[in-house]
Structures are given as structure tokens and as C-alpha cells.
Amino acid sequence: MGTDKTELLREIADYYSDKLAEHGETPQGVDWNGSDSQVLRFEQLSKVIADEDTPFSIMDLGCGYGALYEFLSPKYPQMSYLGLDVSEIMVEAAKARYAHPDRVDFLCASQPDRVSDYCVASGIFNVRQNRTDAEWGAFLENTLDMIHESSARGFAFNCLTAYSDADKKRGYLYYADPCWLFDLCKRKYARNIAVLHDYGLYEFTILVRK
């Protein structure tokens, strides 16, 4: 699967690079509808952080131009942040936007070079393009394995929900079964799993607390 994974990651990088070129450093530039929904999903993901007063490190997989860092930094000034993205122009945009080399790092990579207390992944499992459900499901699970190995205290991720209205679904997007992912996370990663499916978007967030 090595070559196939490389091709898949290239497809993802090209897709989001094109979005950034079209829309700039905006929610639309990372393929979200707008800033309100972006903030709402960031609020769900950040619930994995257990102690607001203790310094911690966090890895943002699929960081885009760094919008999650902008959301988290006022709330958690003590955090150390690592942003990863497979799109080189996304990473360059993030580096230009946030120049804090002591506590912030952005890398063009598909997996981190260190273990963080927390890992989050927002939106990276949504756009499958021409991949089948089986191919994309395997990619999702392999990525969660990597996120698990890269996080010491917990991780959070979101997916479009299989419970979306049929007329709202699009063929190039992946709609995940939250029950399958709850079971997967419970069996493989930790005992304490939360599924958040109550915040008004056609998606859900899973929190894995170790």
C-alpha cells in the first residue's frame, strides 16, 4: 500500500492546495462553508484537552493555514503547537501567518516527528474524491493508528456523518458510520471514548481519552 498511499496523499495535497489558491486563508480555503461552523467544530475538538491550566503539547494533523492554532492560542497560552499538512503551500502560508518559533512549529509531512500530549484532526477524512469506501476506510483506520501512536493523553477527530440527509450527500465526500468508529476506538485505543453528534452540523466528533 506504500505507493498507493503516496498517490492518495498527493491527491489530498493537490485538492487543498487548489482550494487555498482559489479562496485564500479563509475557511473556504480549507474547504469549510464559513467561520461559524469552523469555530463550532474547533470547540468540539478542543474538549479532548483535560486540564486547561497545565502546559501541554498538541499536534494538529491537516493544519491548513493554522486556523486551529489561532482558535486555541488565546485559550491556552501555555501550549506547544505542532501543525502538519501534506500541502506545501498550506504549510508555507501557516509559517508566514504565525511566526512564533519557540512554541509553534509547522511541517509539511503526513506524520509527526515527535509524540504530543494531544492530537487533533479536523476535516482530513471528508474528501475521498474517487476512492472507494473500502479504500478510504482503510486510510482512515491507518491514520488513526498513527494518531494514537503519536498522542500520549488523547486525540480527537471529526467526520461527516452517515446519518446525513440523502439529498445533502455528495459522491466525492466520505460519510462515516459513527457506530463503527466508536467501536474501533473503544477496541483499539482507549476505554474512555466520547461521540459528539449534537452540535448541529452534518458531522460528528470523537474524543479518545487515554
Summarised one tens digit per residue, pLDDT across range 78-111 is 999 999 998 888 898 889 888 766 789 999 999 9
Phi, psi of 55 (to 5 degrees): -55, 145
Average pLDDT in the 130-147 region?
94
On the question of pLDDT at 2 being above 90, the answer is no
Closest CA to 40 of 179, 202, 165: 202
Tell me if 160 sits within 8 A of 202, measured CB to CB.
Answer: yes
Torsion from C-alpha of 147, 61, 173, 136, nearest 10 degrees: -30
**Would the pLDDT of 30 be above 70?**
no
> Looking at residue 93, what is its pLDDT?
87
Burial (CB < 10 A; 0-12, 13-18, 19+), residue 111, is middle
User: Residue 185's pLDDT is what?
Assistant: 98
Q: Quote the percentage of the chain above a pLDDT of 70.
A: 85
DSSP result, 120-139 = EE-STTSB-TT--HHHHHHH
Of the listed ranges 32-36, 149-153, 206-210, the one predicted with least confidence: 32-36
What's this model's pTM, rounded to 2 decimal places?
A: 0.85
- The neighbouring-strand residues paired with 119 are 59, 155
Residue 118 binned pLDDT confidence (cut-offs 50, 70, 90): very high
Is residue 194 very low, low, confident or very high in pLDDT (cuts 50, 70, 90)? very high
User: What's the chain's average pLDDT?
Assistant: 88
Q: Is residue 126 scored above 50 in pLDDT?
A: yes
User: Would you state the pLDDT for residue 129?
Assistant: 85
64 neighbors 71 (Cβ within 8 angstroms): no
Residue 22 binned pLDDT confidence (cut-offs 50, 70, 90): low
Instruction: State the average pLDDT over residues 31-60.
Output: 86
